[in-house]
Amino acid sequence: MGIGEVMRAGGIGTVIASKSPAFAVGDTVYGTLGVQEYARFNAGQIGKRALERVDLRIGSMTQWLNVLGMPGMTAYFGLLDVGQPKPGETVVVSGAAGAVGQTVGQLAKIKGCRAVGIAGGPA
């Protein structure tokens, strides 16, 4: 990061102007919008899937940033593809208070596992 550069971050927003046939004014989109009030993308960036339209009928903006977005995908594939838990096993989540950890705990329970979450302090 250079001084004065926009901090990189995933975000969700509403299209307020568009010259692209892929997006209409009012569409809700997800992408690397950065920590800023407005983000601008050119056609070349859109073609590289820098922005994805999201369907608010499936989930709220908050859910698209969490369980339906990158944290949810990280939890899902990390637990199920990498961890491959079996019913009856114990899954220990060391970052249980975070967006990924809380989803891992819920997925572990759905898979019939005992979920143990660690969220910081001595208790």
Q: What is the pLDDT along the chain (123 residues), one digit of tens a residue?
A: 899 999 988 899 999 999 888 889 999 999 888 899 999 887 666 555 578 889 999 999 999 989 998 899 999 999 999 999 999 999 999 999 999 999 999 999 999 999 999 988 776
Report the SS3 class of residue 123: coil
Confidence (pLDDT) at 77: 97
- DSSP states of 27-76 as a string? -EEEE---SSS-----HHHHHTT-EEE--TTT--HHHHHTTTSHHHHHHH
The structure's pTM equals: 0.74
Helix axes 99-110, 70-77, angle to 10 degrees: 40
Q: How far is CA 58 from the centre of its chain?
A: 14
Query: Pairing state of beta strands 114-117 and 90-93?
Result: parallel
pLDDT in the model for residue 45: 62
Return the sign of the alpha-carbon dihedral for residues 96, 101, 103, 105.
Answer: negative
Rounded CA-CA distance 78/110 in Å is: 15
